[in-house]
Amino acid sequence: MQTPTFNRGISLLIMVLIAVAIFSVIGWGQNPTVHRERINKILATLSAESFDDSVKNLATDELFSNPGFHTAPKFPQICLETMLSNRRCVKVIEHLRDMEQDERRKKLRELFAKYLEIQSTAIHTVLRHADDPTAPVNNQSMLGSQGAICAVMFATAESGDRQLLLEQFDQLDKSTEKIEERIKKNEKAHEPILIHVIRGNYTPDNRFQLNVLFLLEKTIANHKVLGQIERESVIAGLRRKPLQIAPWNSETTWFDLVGRPGLGANGVSEGGVNYTFYEDWTGSDLSHNPTNQQRLVKKFRELVAAQEK
């Protein structure tokens, strides 16, 4: 039997999906003046935040949803772009980049544990409420905590800390196993869409995982592993694309211009970092095949882990 709370949750989810589809077509805040005001408001908020404030607020969903990254394909894997569109995430990543190595490693380990615990607690709260409507309702955005996890993994990869990134992957595996065990205890009693939403949000998507492993080895400049990754990518039919990430306090970022013609008369602000990322699976042999996508991620992880032996 569906509870009123669950029905409201489904209605909200449908409304969000419809909104994303509309924004994909017309562009969010296409009026340049309106969107510029939003950017200025975000910049004012973040300028007033200390690093600790930004860390505390990172797992909220406002800046992941807005501006966000809206695209036409159904259920695309865009954890990477969604995270990088969030200026608070970029601010945290930039701060971590400037830390001394030992201090950064300690902070990255602390933050990953923090956000993973927030995400796990949210999911278990959702499942408990689905089993028992009298149990507390989840108020934590899974999008927010997923994005925060992505930011920490990205910063770890960019720091070139292979051991720590592999440790984070192992922790994700353990958390995933616990959640799957919890789901399977009463899966038939849960609405399929609830399970679909949970499974789509409790870890970064396959494409994000692939890209942080690539970013790690590119940062380290391990040409042996990069060559092996390239061969596997060619076999899978994957393509890479360049993407410039402007500083968090830039007047205009690449994400500000997506679907908003006329906003940035001068284009993307200067001073950004140039990256190369694997594009979506569309056009590859792994498109719409998450099992084989996961196998490729596992292959990448094995190639990276072999360097630690």
At residue 275, the pLDDT reads: 93
**In this structure, what token pair is assigned to residue 127?**
């499942």
3-state SS, residue 138: coil
Look up residue 242 and give its DSSP letter: E
Res 101: pLDDT: 95
**pTM beyond 0.75:** yes
Tens of pLDDT along 226-285?
A: 999 999 988 888 989 898 899 999 988 888 877 555 555 556 667 789 999 998 887 777
Among 137-141, 167-171, 189-193, 264-268, whose mean pLDDT is lowest? 264-268
Q: Provide the residue range defining the domain that includes 234.
A: 4-308
Confidence of residue 183 (pLDDT cuts 50, 70, 90): confident
Q: How is residue 206 written in tokens?
A: 């396959």
pLDDT digits (tens, 9 = 90+) for 186-213: 777 778 888 888 888 889 999 999 999 9
- pLDDT reading at 19 higher than 50: no
Rounded Cα distance between 174 and 270, Å, is 41
With CA atoms as reference, report the closest residue to 209 among 144, 255, 165: 165
* Structural domain total, the chain: 1
Q: What is the DSSP letter of 69?
A: -
pLDDT of amino acid 255? 83
In DSSP notation, 94-131 reads HHHHTS-HHHHHHHHHHHHHHHHHHHHHHHHHHHHHHH
Which of the four pLDDT bands, split at 50, 70 and 90, describes residue 15?
Answer: very low
Both tokens assigned to 39 = 């950017």
**Helix-helix angle 4-26:192-199, to 10 degrees:** 60
Q: What is the C-alpha to C-alpha distance for residues 154 and 107, in angstroms, rounded to an integer?
A: 14
